[in-house]
Amino acid sequence: MPLDQSIKTVLIIGSGPIVIGQACEFDYSGTQAARSLREEGVKVLLINSNPATIMTDPMMADKVYLLPLTPESIEQIIDENKDTEYKVDAVLATMGGQTALNLAKEADEMGIWEKNNVRLIGVDIKAIDKAEDREKFREWMVEMNIPVAPAKIANSFLEGKEIAQQIGFPLVLRPSYTLGGTGGSIVFEKSRLDEALNRALTTSPVHEVLVEKGMMGWKEFELELLRDDNDNVVIICTVENFDPMGVHTGDSITVAPAMTLSDTAYQKMRNTAISMMRNLGNFAGGCNVQFALNPHTEELIAIEINPRVSRSSALASKATGYPIAKIAAKLAVGFTLDELKNQITQTTSAYFEPALDYVIVKIPRWNFDKFKGADDTLGFQMKSVGEVMAIGRSFAEAIQKACQSLENNAVGLGYYGKSLMHAEDIVEYLKVPKWDRIFRIKDALMIGVSVKRICESTGIDRWFIYQIQKIVNCEKAIAQSTLENISPELLKEAKHLGFGDEQIAKIMKDGSTEDDVYEKRKALGITRVYKMVDTCSAEFEAKTPYFYSTFE
C-alpha cells in the first residue's frame, strides 16, 4: 500500500525529561521519524517538554511544542490547529518510549482521539494493553501456548506478599507501565520483600506489579523486528546479553549478532517472536521482543514485548545500518516493507534482514562517582547514564575497543600489575553483578582463576570467558617482550585482539610510548584497514555505507 492519503498531518509525541534509565535514546527515534514523514510530504507537529533534545530543533518539524506531556497539552495542540493547514489527522506514539504510550492511552480513555477524529497510527490501544499490562501479557502468552515464568499479578501489598509465599524466592518484581525497569527489582530473601514490593506498587501508574519467579542463570536475548500492515515481518537484529538474567538489558554488556545461540534455539526464538508480533493486533512499526533461555535444556520463555521502538532499536540501527525508526514511521502511515527502499543500497527493498560480517559490543557507562552512597549493584532497574558501541572482526577486538571508549581511564580491557584481590576474594566478588565485572573477570583470569570457576560464579557463558582468556594470554606474552624483541606475529595478534598502541606500551613496561609502538608496527606493515557496514555483507553495492577500522 502507498501512503495513506487521508493522513496530511501527524503529531509525534516525544519522551519528555531525560532521566537515568530513559528518554535520551528516544531523541534519535523522534528525529528519524520526523524526517522520514516529511520526506513523504506529511506535515509534522511535535510535542516534547524537553528543550535539550535534537527533536525539538525548529528544523525537525513543521511546528514544535515545548509543553508538558499531558492530555491537556495534546488537546490544546489539536484545538489550535483545527481550522488550519496543520489540522491533526493522526498521532504517532511509538517514538517516545513508555511516556508516549502512556499518554496516548490516557488521552484515549478521556475520549480525546474520538472527539477530535484523530487516529492513533503505528499501534492501537488494545496492542498497548496486551504488551504493557503484565497480566494481559501473561494471559496472551498462555493463549498462544508460549511459555512464561510462573507469576501472578498483585494490586496491593498484602496480595503481593501472599503471591510471594506461593511462588518462592528468588522473585522478580515487574511494575506495569514503566520504562527502564523503573521500580523493578530482584528479591532473594524474605527480609527485603516489603520494601521492594512497596516501591514497585508505588512506581506503577496503575498500582500493579507482576510477582514472577526469578529465572536466575538463564541467558537473555532480544530481537528487533519490523512489521507492516500486510503482516510482513523482518528480524533486524538478534542481541545477546553478556550477563545472564538478573541484570537489566540497558545495564548489561550486549553483543550482536548472538554468539552462543544454537541454530535450533535461534529458529525457535525467531518463530516465536514472529508469531507474537503477528498476533499483537493493529501494529505497524518497530518492536522489541525479549526471551530467556535455559542454557542447559534450551527451554525458552517470553519475558516481554515492547510495541514501540526502544533503546535497543537505536543500537540495532547503528549496528546493522538499517534505519529502524525511519522505516517504522513510514510503515505507520501505510507503506509496506516491500515498497520501501533499502536506505543503504538504494536498489533493494526494505523487506530484507541485514547480514552482519562483524561483531558489535555495547558497554553501558555509569556515573556512580557522582552519586555518593548509590548502590552500584546492577539489577532489573536500569542505572547506566549512557553507553558505547564498538565494531570489530571478533568479540575480543570489539570488547577491547568498547573498553577504550568508556572515558574511565581504561585503555582497553586493561591490567597493569597484580590484581588488588586474592583468588577467593575475586571469585566471591564476581557473584554480585557490578559495573566493573568485565574488568574483574579479566583480573581473575590473570591470576589463574579457571574459566570453570568464573562461569560458576557469574553464570556467564563460558564462550565469552574463553574469548577474554585469549586477551589474557596475549597480554602475558606482551609483558614478557620489549619493543625491540617483540615478534611481528605477536604484535599482529595483539592488534587482531583489539589491543591499542598505548595499551601495548603500558604492558611492556620498558619505557616505550604509544608513538614508539605505532612506529614499530608501521615499519612491520601492520596498519589498519577499513571495513564496510552495508547491511548485506557486500552482496549488493552500498551507496551510503559507513566504515569501521580493524587490523587484517
- The answer to whether 9-121 and 411-532 have equal CATH topology is no
Q: How far apart are CA 188 and CA 191, in angstroms?
A: 9
Cell numbers for 192, please give them: 527485603
Fold of 9-121: Rossmann fold (3.40.50)
- What residues have CB less than 8 Å from 218, skipping those under 6 apart? 244, 245, 292, 293, 294, 295, 301
Q: How far apart are CA 321 and CA 175, in angstroms?
A: 34
Q: 411-532 maps to which CATH number?
A: 1.10.1030.10
Q: Are 43 and 87 in contact (CB under 8 A)?
A: no
Q: Which residues of the chain have pLDDT under 50?
A: 416-417
Least Cα distance to 227 among 315, 179, 288 occurs for 288
pTM for this predicted structure = 0.87
Note the pLDDT of residue 20: 59
CA dihedral 96, 284, 540, 257 (to 10 degrees): 60
Q: Are 284 and 228 in contact (CB under 8 A)?
A: yes
Cell numbers for 475, please give them: 597480554
Q: Are 200 and 184 in contact (CB under 8 A)?
A: yes
Cell numbers for 194, please give them: 516489603
Q: For residue 147, which phi and psi values (nearest 5 degrees)?
A: -65, 140
Least Cα distance to 501 among 446, 539, 437, 549 occurs for 549
Note the pLDDT of residue 21: 53
Neighbours of 209 (CB within 10 A): 32
CATH class of the domain defined by 150-213: alpha beta
The Cα-based distances of 383 to 173, 252, 378 in angstroms read 17, 10, 7
* H/E stretch holding 128: helix 125-132
Note the pLDDT of residue 85: 94
Cell numbers for 206, please give them: 496503575
First to last CA, the chain: 45
Per-residue 3-state assignment (H helix, E strand, C coil) for 400-444: HHHHHCCCCCCCCCCCCCCCCCCHHHHHHHCCCCECCHHHHHHHH
Least Cα distance to 25 among 125, 92, 98, 90 occurs for 98
Cell 512499526, located at residue: 285
Instruction: List the chain domain ranges.
Output: 9-121, 150-213, 219-354, 411-532
β-pairing, 300-306 with 285-293?
antiparallel
Beta bridge partners of 223: 238, 289
SS3 528: coil
Least Cα distance to 31 among 329, 337, 249 occurs for 329
* H/E stretch holding 45: strand 43-47
Q: Provide DSSP, 243-307.
A: S-TTS-GGGS-EEES-SS--HHHHHHHHHHHHHHHHTS-SB-EEEEEEEEE-TTT--EEEEEEES
Q: 219-354 maps to which CATH number?
A: 3.30.470.20
Neighbours of 44 (CB within 10 A): 22
* H/E stretch holding 220: strand 219-227
Q: How far apart are CA 449 and CA 444, in angstroms?
A: 5
The Cα-based distances of 503 to 304, 423, 448 in angstroms read 41, 24, 21
Cell numbers for 201, please give them: 506498587
